[in-house]
């Protein structure tokens, strides 16, 4: 084959592949989305087209989204990653620096300071790992090239563009996680709009760079969306006393203490009042670990619907509580 012709074919193939992934403005779904944003929110069509011309497909976003730890990782391994001496040490530093802000958030929103600190530590190691993918890229990839959850991510893309306008962000500069979560507490765009607060009263809701706003915002999220209940436990250890019935996949408490023994479990201590709970089974290398999750277990699950995540937040908070005394 003529060498010039060969390179011409290579160039055509290269630019064709780039247009599939890089120029989102030409995809039919994106055109439909742009028209929707123009009609519903009054955006300039040319402005959105220019943003999506520069948005880039992220293959690793799809790859990682398809490999979530739930169902593939034991509780021991997950806990070892999320609750370790390094993270506890970082948590101690954060609490020493922000104890007054954490206590103030607890007083206003009713969410324990150690839970707030635990979530920020689990999410980003107190701002050290906030994500390095442009949010416009991750959300465009998931909205237009991830059919399994495209509906959800189109909503988040809409929310992100609205958030950028409201908070005067450049949508092409903001970076976050593979799923488009942002800042110290890894808020999705809709949560940023609905629950972020200006906790230091400087006139800006900045959870991207301001740990004080992040503290108030995490507490506000758990209070409002999570419906946090003060003085209600999160979880209690349990043990198997007979053959366990099949555990329903649920985060919302539905079982009473009267039903527990029939189910095959026994609580490690007396269950307070008439509280309902959900039985939890955690996979170990050899066997299972059993817990009972109460209303505030459900509250934390509104942040991340993973029982491993909720239990890591709970255990990590227990390790941090001593630094708040």
* Three-class SS of 216-283: HHHHHHHHHCCCCCCCCCCEEEEEECCCCCCCCCCCCCCECHHHHHHHCEEECCCCCCCCCEEEEEEE
Q: Which of 29, 56, 70, 123 is labelled catalytic?
A: 123
In which element (H, E) is residue 175 found? strand 175-176
User: By C-alpha distance, which of 226, 321, 223, 240 is closest to 284?
Assistant: 240
Q: Which tokens sit at 29?
A: 């779904």
The dihedral of CA 179, 312, 82, 94: what is its sign?
Answer: positive
Which DSSP symbol is given to 113? H
Residue with tokens 């436990």: 233
Q: Is 32 a catalytic residue?
A: no
The dihedral of CA 106, 90, 298, 193: what is its sign?
Answer: positive
Residue 289 in contact with residue 299, Cβ under 8 Å? no
Question: What are the residue numbers of the active site?
Answer: 123
């Amino acid at each position: 084959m003529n060498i010039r012709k060969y390179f011409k074919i290579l160039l055509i193939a290269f630019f064709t592949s780039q247009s599939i992934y890089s120029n989102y403005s030409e995809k039919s779904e994106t055109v439909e989305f742009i028209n929707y944003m123009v009609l519903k929110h009054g955006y300039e069509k040319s402005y959105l087209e220019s943003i999506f011309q520069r948005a880039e497909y992220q293959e690793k976003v799809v790859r990682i989204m398809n490999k979530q730890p739930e169902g593939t990782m034991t509780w021991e391994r997950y806990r070892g990653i999320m609750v370790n001496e390094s993270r506890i040490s970082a948590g101690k530093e954060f609490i020493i620096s922000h104890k007054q802000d954490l206590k103030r958030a607890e007083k206003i929103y009713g969410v324990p300071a150690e839970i707030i600190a635990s979530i920020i530590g689990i999410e980003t190691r107190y701002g050290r790992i906030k994500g390095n993918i442009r949010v416009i890229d991750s959300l465009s990839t998931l909205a237009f090239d991830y059919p399994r959850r495209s509906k959800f991510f189109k909503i988040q893309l809409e929310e992100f563009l609205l958030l950028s306008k409201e908070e005067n962000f450049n949508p092409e500069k903001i970076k976050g996680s593979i799923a488009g979560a942002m800042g110290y507490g890894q808020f999705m765009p809709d949560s940023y709009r609905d629950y972020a607060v200006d906790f230091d009263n400087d006139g800006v809701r900045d959870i991207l760079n301001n740990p004080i706003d992040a503290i108030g915002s995490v507490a506000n999220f758990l209070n409002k969306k999570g419906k946090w209940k003060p003085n209600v436990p999160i979880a209690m250890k349990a043990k198997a006393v007979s053959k366990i019935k099949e555990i329903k996949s649920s985060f919302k408490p539905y079982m009473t203490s009267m039903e527990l023994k029939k189910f095959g479990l026994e609580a490690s201590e007396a269950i307070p009042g008439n509280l309902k709970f959900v039985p939890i089974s955690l996979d170990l290398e050899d066997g299972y670990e059993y817990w009972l999750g109460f209303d505030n277990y459900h509250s934390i699950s509104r942040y991340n619907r993973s029982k491993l995540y909720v239990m890591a937040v709970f255990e990590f908070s227990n390790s941090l509580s001593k630094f708040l005394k």
